[in-house]
Amino acid sequence: MKFSMSIALLLRSTPLLLLALVGCASTLHFNSSDSAGGENAAPPTELITEQLIQAERQQNGQHAAQDLSRLIVSNPPPYVIGSGDVLSIVVWDHPELAGAGMPAATANGDNGIAAMNAANATPQGFVVDHLGRIQFPFAGLFKVEGLTEEQARTQLADKLAKYIANPNVTLRVLAYRSKRVYIDGEVKSPGLQAINDIPMTLMEALNRAGGLQPTADQSRITLERGEERYTINLRELVQKNISPGNVMLAPGDVVRVHSRDESKVFVSGEVISPRALTMHDGRLTLNEALGETGGINPLSGDTRQIYVVRKTPERTRVFRLDARDTGSLAMAEAFELRPKDVVYVAASPLANWNRSLSLLFPGALTQAFSITKP
């Protein structure tokens, strides 16, 4: 009783400050409909309902429905020879043709430089030149670029048949140097990967790069092919019964595995532990975000005002959840957050009133409390 009387006497002594106090104690509000207040007008608030969640799911599905059919190959074609490859050619029963191949690296009279280049020297063989040709005894110059090993072997045997009876030719690629892909991002060994006779699928490329790092976001793997860009979600592919091993890479492709740190959600306001949260492979619900930050502060949080602020290329969208409504927990679990979303829990009117009182009358509550002490 003494405590209440002390506060009342303190407030009655400053009526003008009391009016200011009431104004400062108002809680956070956004407009419930479009406003004509100009460029600085607050964005309209959209109440989170089952209808809105369904509309968001359909919109997300349209954005995620990227056509990946050009990347899916069930039966990959065999490797074709390209410029820069080194071929090993053997004509059986004709050893005089075995040493006709020349090393790709030019000879150098400096032994020191030759020793330094020894580790990187190309194996001795027939190098496909920039025009896609090789030169072989009796056959002369002929083009092998774009041919499989079997096709190149057949053509060479036909040319040698004019000079050698029933030539038995063995032709294989000794060094694969014409086709490469680049792997970057959250893999253990980023860098160039040469395409060889083993089909270069997405999973093959990731495995050759040492596999994904623990920080890798499996929902955001970017594949750049020329001017086109594809975003691949590994888990979504599996859910659609599409094997990631059927995603075929092409020469010159750039694959980047993004980090989970690039997809964060920021939770602030009246929660127990405000902080930035990392999404779980591209997925995080509003309920999970509130749970991972300890939930709404029971002493100061306003369960009627849980906001999600989302910046889109078109405009800023603000969603509000009223946790008092029936089924609000189910809607919070179904509401999917996006990277860079800001979740804000507003303070209750009583908490705002208390803080405004503390600002206007520093130590007033402490002094009033001390008056009641015997």
Number of domains in the chain: 3
Domain end position, chosen among 199, 227, 260: 260
Is 241 a member of any domain?
Answer: yes
Q: In this structure, what DSSP letter does residue 42 have?
A: P
pLDDT over 90 (residue 83): yes
307-353 pLDDT, tens digit per residue, is 999 998 888 999 999 998 888 989 999 999 999 999 999 999 888 77
Instruction: For residues 267 and 251, state if they share a domain.
Output: no
Given 212, 238, 260, which residue is the final one in a domain? 260
Q: Is residue 1 part of a domain?
A: no
Sheet holding 86-91, edge to edge: 126-127, 86-91, 169-175
pLDDT at 288: 95
244, 282: one domain:
no
Share of the chain above pLDDT 70, in %: 77
Domain of residue 140, residue span: 86-107+122-175
Say which CATH number the domain at 354 has: 3.10.560.10
Same domain, 190 and 252: yes
Examine the pLDDT at 22 and tell me if it is beyond 80: no
Q: Note the pLDDT tens digit of each residue in 264-310.
A: 999 999 999 999 999 988 889 999 999 999 999 999 999 999 999 99
- Predicted confidence at residue 361, as pLDDT, reads 67
Residues 269 and 254 in one domain: no
Give 358's pLDDT tier (boundaries 50, 70, 90): confident
Residues 267 and 354 in one domain: yes
CATH number at residue 129: 3.30.1950.10
Q: Determine the Cα–Cα distance for residues 195 and 249; give it in Å rounded to an integer.
A: 9
Query: 266 forms bridges with which residues in the sheet?
Result: 276, 342
- Rounded CA gap, 292 and 243, in Å? 33
Read off the pTM: 0.71
The pLDDT value recorded for residue 99 is 56
What percent of the chain lies above the pLDDT cut of 90?
Answer: 54
